[in-house]
Amino acid sequence: MQHFKMYINGNWVESKKKEHIDVKNPSNGSVFASIPRATQEDVEDAVNAARTAFRSEKWRSIKPHERGDILFAIADKIKADRDELARLESMDVGKPLSQAYADVDAAIRYFRFYGGAADKVMGDTIPIEDGLLDYVVREPLGVTAHIVPWNYPLQIISRSVAAAIAMGNTVVVKSAEDTPMTAMRLTEFFDALDLPAGVFNHITGFGYEAGAALSAHPLINHVTFTGSVGTGIEVGKAAMENVVPSTLELGGKSPNIVFSDCDLEKTVEGVVRAIVQNAGQTCSAGARLLIEESFKNVFLQKVIEKFEGLTVGAGLDDKDLGPILNEKQYNHVLSLIEQAKKEASVVAGGNPITVKGCEDGLYVQPTIIDEVSRDSKLAQEEIFGPVLTVFTFVGESEALDLANSTDYGLVTGIWTQDISRAHYLASRIDSGQVFINNYGAGGGVQMPFGGYKKSGIGREKGWIALYNYTQIKNVAVKYN
């Protein structure tokens, strides 16, 4: 077992109180590392270090293309350490190793994408009148806070930190206490670069302590948070107390809408992959299956057969599904499955699993629940496990009504060969992303990601995310 330290102002440090948090491998329940439990004083140190670095002439003098070079260098380090990072992500989160490799590759692409963008964000000139030159520039905000969830730690750190640094900000990362390992490795990469102390800081600890102190700190200029709606509301309130912006990605209850004219095999594959990836512990998981009523029996039977053939096991064994992350989430998933057994029909799975050699791991069968009431908790709230709820519709109007019937609006899949129907639905669905005859599009780093309604505020990924980390200044020059 290895003990790690936090990284503040270019130094590896313990928490002020010298308290630690154990890190478990959810595949087998073993403790394999420990991290500092940061206090409010530790957060204070990290934010002050970032603030000092942001105001330093050394950081200000680094040219935009040189910031891009920093991000390219991190991408190269991630690529060189690809195997170890994938192994750490798989051990830490419990996700299948092949999925962890995909996360590492996405992280490389984020740093390369934003590295290439660093010197390409332009201002504007505005025609006012003769003798007046008016121009607009985008300037960095200052110190940005990045509060990272436990399900995709490497990807989510990469997509926001790379964009923030590209625009000239300094950052404080708070990694999830359950899954800090790839954040630690990424921190080592930043430490190896010749950066001004305080440009990149990494604190560890509980969300209700370190995360809350970070989001409420008066010297933070922007907060990026991914997590639950309840916590996101508190983060947003804390940011607004200091009148600073926040980008909040808060989850979903995303539908796959399946019409009878779809490509059967490809649609089944897409629907199953959308819910079982990372054992369903994905904010954008396709958790609701909406099937055209006349096609239900044929399609659902195919999905059931696919579910029954899925394998479950330790992350490093690279089965189709790994474990649920922790006991709290495991009990939550099982309690909702038990509710389903009373009020709906469980047609596949529905039970916990014991994996040989990993008896202390937290495993659940991939589960399908049919005959769910649209107003049920099962239909309205995130289960955040490998659980698919099934509904039927007749016609486009009912499909649209069902798709929009939750408080979320993150992702939607539409499966049909009728392109007019697909575009019609896409234009009316309350969803930040709509995929037609696919789901996820390979997780493209270029595509803006975020949600309608309670799925969040703002967008991450793509070019538009760069604007999260800038503020606009207008300058008017009068000349003769």
Q: How many angstroms separate the CA atoms of 275 and 278, rounded?
A: 8
Backbone angles phi, psi at 201, to 5 degrees: -130, 145
Look up residue 51 and give its two tokens.
């603030």
Q: Give the torsion through C-alpha atoms of 108, 109, 112, 114, to 10 deg.
A: -120
Residue 191 sits at the vertex; the CA angle it makes with 171 and 160, to the nearest 5 degrees, is: 30
Q: In what order do the strands lie in the sheet with 30-36?
A: 2-3, 30-36, 20-25
CB 317 within 8 A of CB 287: no
Amino acid identity, residue 192? A
Please, is 30 exposed, middle or buried when counting C-beta atoms within 10 Å of its C-beta (0-12, 13-18, 19+)?
Answer: middle
Q: How many angstroms separate the CA atoms of 292 and 304, rounded?
A: 17
CB 94 within 8 A of CB 322: yes
Q: In what order do the strands lie in the sheet with 143-147?
A: 11-13, 6-8, 200-203, 170-174, 143-147, 222-226, 246-249, 456-457
Residue 216: left if φ>0, alpha if ψ -120 to 50, beta else—which one? alpha
Residue with tokens 């779809």: 262
- Tell me if residue 281 falls in helix, strand or coil: coil
For residue 139, what are the CA distances in angstroms to 96, 199, 327? 41, 16, 44
Number of helical H runs and strand E runs in the chain: 15, 25
Going by their DSSP bridges, the two strands 6-8 and 11-13 should be labelled as antiparallel
Q: How many angstroms separate the CA atoms of 111 and 121, rounded?
A: 16
Look up residue 205 and give its two tokens.
């600890």
- Tell me if residue 23 falls in helix, strand or coil: strand
Look up residue 128 and give its two tokens.
């006012």
Q: Is 19 one of the catalytic residues?
A: no
Q: In 3D, which of 386, 317, 152, 327 has the Cα closest to residue 249? A: 152
- Tell me if residue 323 falls in helix, strand or coil: coil
Q: How many angstroms separate the CA atoms of 100 and 85, rounded?
A: 8
CB 34 within 8 A of CB 26: no
- Tell me if residue 427 falls in helix, strand or coil: helix
- Catalytic residue, chosen from 234, 249, 292, 460, is 249
What are the catalytic residues? Answer: 249
